[in-house]
Amino acid sequence: MRHILVVGIGTGNPEHMTMQAIHALNRADTLFIPTKGQKKADLAEVRREIIARYVTNPQSRTVEFALPVRKVEGRSYVGGVDEWHAAISETYVRLFLEELGEDGTAALLVWGDPMLYDSTLRILERVKATGKVAFDIEVIPGITSIQALCAAHRIPLNLVGKPVEITTGRRLHESFPHRSETAVVMLDGEQAFSKVTDPDAHIYWGAYLGTKDEVVIEGRAVEVSDEILKVRAEQRARHGWIMDIYLMQKGEDFDDL
């Protein structure tokens, strides 16, 4: 049976690779690298650098493939993502049948950690459900963007004895700050932080975490939101894409004693 390794590679710094991840890549016959067009060429290049630096298995080979593009016009968010995942699953079926022997092992290099706001695992379940190709899955965890963000700002993730919520920009207003005093926001296409008006809300923002282009900003949200919007727009124009995350927080340790 084919064996698929889903390997977390961290947030862009090749030194985020764990020993477990390096050993996994060296077990693979085939290393799959998704390409997302010229604007996101940097993402594929990081994967190539990781392979060049750490893979010493002379029997392995690299296969690059074009990742389907998510269509957004005329579609709801959920509907667009569902359609996109279906297209990716069809691509995986073809790759596994054409590029991997029946007893072969392949590695998918996944940004960050495969369990946190990444859909590789659920897409692989779609592939299984087609019945067109049989395989088992092994998951190797990686450093998350949340860890990289807190490390860059030199802060703990949580306030003492208090919970943390991980959410999206679309849903930030549902929980922060009235339900969760600490909210990590991922996948924010609308810059929801700029709509937070609570004067005591603090933001820790970061983009391209772990890479040479890393940029971080922190402060009271009402005071630094404009700066973040400006820097974010500049960086997106410079790179053609942006990958950012932030932590919103209100309150202090032990303030409920």
Q: CB within 8 A of 210, min separation 6: which ones?
A: 10, 11, 12, 13, 16, 143, 148
Q: Quote the pLDDT of residue 233.
A: 96
What is the C-alpha to C-alpha distance for residues 164 and 152, in angstroms, rounded to an integer? Answer: 18
SS3 182: strand
Angle between helices 77-99 and 120-130 (to 10 degrees): 60
pLDDT digits (tens, 9 = 90+) for 118-165: 999 999 999 999 999 999 999 999 999 999 999 999 999 999 999 999
d(CA 177, CA 236): 28
Task: Identify the helix (H) or strand (E) that includes residue 64.
Answer: strand 61-66
pLDDT of res. 69: 82
For 200-243, what is each residue's pLDDT tens digit? 999 999 999 988 899 999 999 999 999 999 999 999 999 888 99
| Angle, vertex CA 175, rays to CA 174 and CA 178, nearest 5 | 115
CA–CA separation, 57 vs 138, rounded Å? 19
The architecture CATH gives domain 2-143 = 3-Layer(aba) Sandwich (3.40)
Query: Rounded to the nearest 5°, which phi and psi values hold at 247?
Result: -120, 125
Has residue 40 got a pLDDT over 80?
no
- Give the β-pairing of 105-110 and 2-8: parallel
pLDDT at 249: 97
pLDDT at 12 over 90: no
74 pLDDT above the threshold of 80: no
Whole-number Å distance between alpha carbons of 186 and 184: 7
Question: Mind listing the pLDDT tens digit for each residue in 41-64?
Answer: 788 899 999 999 999 999 999 999
First to last CA, the chain: 57
The CA-atom distances, in angstroms, between 73 and each of 70, 80, 81, 190 are: 10, 9, 12, 16
CATH number for the region 146-249 comes to: 3.30.950.10
Domain ranges of the chain: 2-143, 146-249
Q: Looking at residue 38, what is its pLDDT?
A: 65
Res. 71: pLDDT tops 90: no
Residue pLDDT, tens place only, 168-183: 999 999 999 989 999 9
> pTM for the whole thing?
0.90
Tokens for 139, please give them: 């998951």
